[in-house]
Amino acid sequence: MRTSDSTGRLILWTLILILSAILVGLWEAWYYGFLFRRGIGACSPPPTIMVDGSADAEVHAWIDANSDGVRDLQESPLEGVVVHLMWSEAVTDSEGAAYLSEFLPGCACDCGSGEEVSAKIPAGYRNTTPIRYPYIEKKSPYMFGFILEDSSSQEPIDKFLA
């Protein structure tokens, strides 16, 4: 009887020792960044690793001749549209494109979570697409369509201002 009791205790202590070693090993792998550098737990870096991130967005603005909110091949780019992402501001170029980037120290991932990409409606135009989109990491481009206010298409656009 004593032999089986001592064998059982030995097995129990061996299992406890093995589990403890595994837990300590996992903690060290996290703390020293082994897991983080391999993409495991990438949104929560260990205190031994400093990270910086950014929120980046590509924006396109165009003259939406048919007011359908979709850029067609024959529709022209719109230069001079002011666009925003957090504190960054840019103006679309002759191709109707602008690039926004916001540096965020200490951010590992989902850096722009909860923010918006927006466009200011140019004078003399009205929007045919939403003027604000929620920022989604790695989603680009954000598309903004506009049409001249005196255009024959008078579809209500209030739904896009929210």
Domain borders along the chain are 2-38, 52-160
CA–CA separation, 38 and 42 (whole Å): 8
What is the C-alpha separation between 133 and 142, in angstroms, rounded? Answer: 8
What's the whole-model pTM score? Answer: 0.65
Strand order in the sheet with 97-105: 97-105, 52-63, 142-148, 125-127
| pLDDT of amino acid 15 | 92
For residue 52, what pLDDT is reported? 75
The span from the CA of 146 to the CA of 126, in Å, is 5
C-beta neighbour count of 30 within 10 angstroms: 18
For residue 160, the SS3 value is helix
How far apart CA 100 and CA 89 sit, in angstroms, is: 7
Structural fold of domain 52-160: Immunoglobulin-like (2.60.40)
| Pair 61, 83: CB distance under 8 Å | yes
Q: Beta partners for 153? A: none
pLDDT at 7: 86
pLDDT at 110: 72
Mean pLDDT, 10 residues at a time, the chain of 162 residues: 75 91 78 64 65 86 95 96 94 97 78 88 96 87 94 52 46
User: Tell me, what's the pLDDT at 143?
Assistant: 97
Judged by phi (left if over 0) then psi (alpha if -120 to 50, else beta), residue 85 lies in beta
Query: What pLDDT score does 156 carry?
Result: 47
Q: What's the confidence (pLDDT) of residue 72?
A: 94
CA distance 25 to 127: 56
